[in-house]
Amino acid sequence: MAKFNLRSLLLAAASGSVPAAGQLNSLAKAAGLLYFGTAVDNPSLTNTAYTAVAFNLSEFGQITPANGQKWDSIEPSNGVYSYTQGDAVTSKAQSAGQILRCHNLVWYNQLPSWVSSGSWTTTTLESVLTSHITNEVLHYKGQCYAWDVVNEALSDTGTYRADVFYNILGTGYIPFAFKAAAAADPAAKLYYNDYNIEYAGAKLTAAVSIVKNIQSSGGRIDGVGLQGHFIVGSTPSKASLVAALQTFTALGVEVAYTELDVRHSSVPASAAAQQQQAADYVTVVSACLAVAKCVGVTVWDFDDQYSWVPSTFSGSGEADLWSSNLVKKPAYTSIASFLKSAATAPVAVPTVVTTTPVITTAPATTAAGSNSHYAQCGGIGFTGAAGCASPYTCSTLNSYYAQCL
Ligand SMILES: *[C@@H]1O[C@H](CO)[C@@H](O)[C@H](O)[C@H]1NC(C)=O
């Protein structure tokens, strides 16, 4: 026993940068990612056991509002904006020092009928798109690490979805939306987000065309979000996941897994099925770690109690890292172990260097200024004023985000 303890101490001393705690975000950062994150929906905010985990920075460094920033929530009728639902999640994330993936601006689903069933001309629909994107992006300006500008524009066969945007504006609505978002917040990273683009196929090829169309039209796209809704035992191999990530990074954009979950086809899952789920989760996280421009992994969400899976895929479930009574499952333990080993492995060192550049702006912990509580005050790409109004100080949360806390 004494010998074992001594060895543990020596190992801990030898790997000074590895946090003692086993929480996912701390471990992911030590392994070279920018964050390990989760989606959080509004109904779960009243569950204090849940929020204690969701808004714990050691566990999750990034939050995605699951529904509160979608069109039907933000602009339920033409020109009438409501940020209550979105802000309820983003304010908690910001208090915890977590960065935000903001989600989403243009999607065929959860789109109010005044948009989807309106009678539009090219001019009037472009005007509605511009107003919606500009208003929402300006509301969250300086707060979002990234925006999912367009979500799920492709059908399952890789054709454009025949939604109101495509039917009236054609393929050009996508570059149009990215230009509007770029104009409203030059610092936020702009993402295209979709599912079934995590491996080779017609849909991946079509998503590549979307990226190229934005770029060739003079628009800015910074990233592609691969949702990662997988099935236990059918999750693609690490090699095919890495190849798909590299297909996108070759276009000059970063990538992230943005909505990861791995569902069992029948529940309750056996012990063996839970081990397979753990292996599948590790496969996805390891694919991200293998690609320098894969910035992070976000789960959707982390607790089976709040999973979207059972209501969407009848009979399926238990897709998340914590059980519905908030107990960590084997998948959690396996990801944590994998990230720990990745942080200590020599191969992870170049990844650390390339994905977490040192902030070049001066640390602003002492400078006074006028930024209010929770406002951004520094970080890569931030061009606003430094410094915080008393009594707040500008605290560096990561390379991309310093905040008045
Ligand atoms: C985050 O969770 C860890 C592990 O449970 C705990 O030690 C730590 O105190 C928590 N942090 C906060 C701010 O609650």
pLDDT at 134: 98
Residue to probe by mutation, ligand 1, list 23, 95, 326, most atoms within 8 Å of CB = 23
Q: Does any domain span residue 382?
A: yes
For the CA of 96, the closest atom of ligand 1 is: 13
Nearest CA to 85 among 137, 40, 30? 40
If you measure from the C-alpha of residue 191 to the centroid of ligand 1, how many angstroms do you get, rounded to a whole number?
A: 31
Confirm whether 370 is domain-assigned.
yes
pLDDT confidence of residue 394? 76
Q: Could you list the residue range(s) of the whole structural domain that residue 57 is in?
A: 6-354
Does residue 362 share a domain with residue 320?
no
Q: Which atom of ligand 1 is nearest to the CA of 52?
A: 14
- Please tell me the residue having the least CA distance from ligand 1 atom 10: 56
- What pLDDT, on a 0 to 100 scale, did the predictor assign at position 392? 73
Q: Are 93 and 100 in contact (CB under 8 A)?
A: yes
**354, 372, 396: which is the final residue of a domain?**
354
What radius of gyration, in Å, describes the C-alpha atoms of the chain?
21
Is residue 1 a part of any domain in this protein? no
The answer to whether position 348 is within a domain reads: yes
318 is catalytic: no
Could you tell me if residue 28 is inside a domain?
Answer: yes
Report the distance separating Cα 373 and Cα 14, nearest Å. 39
- Tell me how far the alpha carbon of residue 322 lies from the centroid of ligand 1, in angstroms: 16
pLDDT at 301: 94
Same domain, 309 and 379: no
pLDDT of residue 382: 61
Residue 253, domain member (yes or no): yes
Q: Could you tell me if 291 and 388 lie in one domain?
A: no
Do residues 397 and 99 touch, judged by C-beta distance below 8 A? Answer: yes
Number of domains in the chain: 2
pLDDT at 1: 29
| Same domain for 313 and 368 | no
Q: What is the CATH number of the domain that holds 164?
A: 3.20.20.80
Instruction: Let me know if 347 is exposed, middle or buried by CB neighbors in 10 A (0-12, 13-18, 19+).
Output: exposed
Q: Is the Cβ–Cβ distance between 6 and 12 less than 8 Å? A: no
What residue has token string 């056991």?
49
CB 275 near ligand 1, within 6 Å: no
- Evaluate whether 362 touches 49 at the Cβ level (below 8 Å): no
Distance 386 CA to ligand 1 centre (A): 29
- The stretches in the chain having pLDDT less than 50 are 1-20, 347-366
CA 14 / ligand 1 centre spacing (Å): 24
Instruction: State whether 272 and 383 are in the same domain.
Output: no
| CA of 46 relative to ligand 1 center, distance in Å | 19
Is 143 part of any domain? yes
Catalytic residue among 59, 198, 259, 318: 259
User: What are 345's two structure tokens?
Assistant: 């492995």
The confidence score (pLDDT) of residue 276 equals 98
Residue 330 lies in a domain: yes
Q: What is the pLDDT of residue 401?
A: 56
Dump the DSSP string for 121-172. -HHHHHHHHHHHHHHHHHHTTTTEEEEEEEE--B-TTSSBP--HHHHHHGGG
Q: Are residues 158 and 235 in the same domain?
A: yes
Last residue of a domain, one of 313, 333, 354: 354
* Mutational pocket test of ligand 1: of 26, 50, 56, the residue with most ligand atoms within 8 Å of the beta carbon: 56
Smallest CA separation from ligand 1 atom 9, residue:
56
Residue 56 CB less than 6 A away from ligand 1: yes
How many residues belong to the chain? 405
pLDDT at residue number 405: 63
Residues 240 and 383 in one domain: no
For atom 3 of ligand 1, which residue has the closest CA?
Answer: 58
Set 75, 126, 136, 152: catalytic member: 152
Q: Which residue in 398, 320, 401, 336 sits closest to 44, CA to CA?
A: 320
The pLDDT of residue 400 is 53
Atom 12 in ligand 1: residue holding the nearest Cα: 56
Q: Same domain, yes or no, for 386 and 324?
A: no
Closest CA to ligand 1's atom 11: 56
Q: What is the pLDDT of residue 2?
A: 32
Query: Has 152 been annotated as catalytic?
Result: yes
**Residues 364 and 312 reside in one and the same domain:** no
Residues 312 and 378 in one domain: no
* pLDDT value for 7: 32
Question: Do 297 and 394 fall within a single domain?
Answer: no
Tell whether 193 and 334 lie within a shared domain: yes
58 lines ligand 1 (CB under 6 A): yes
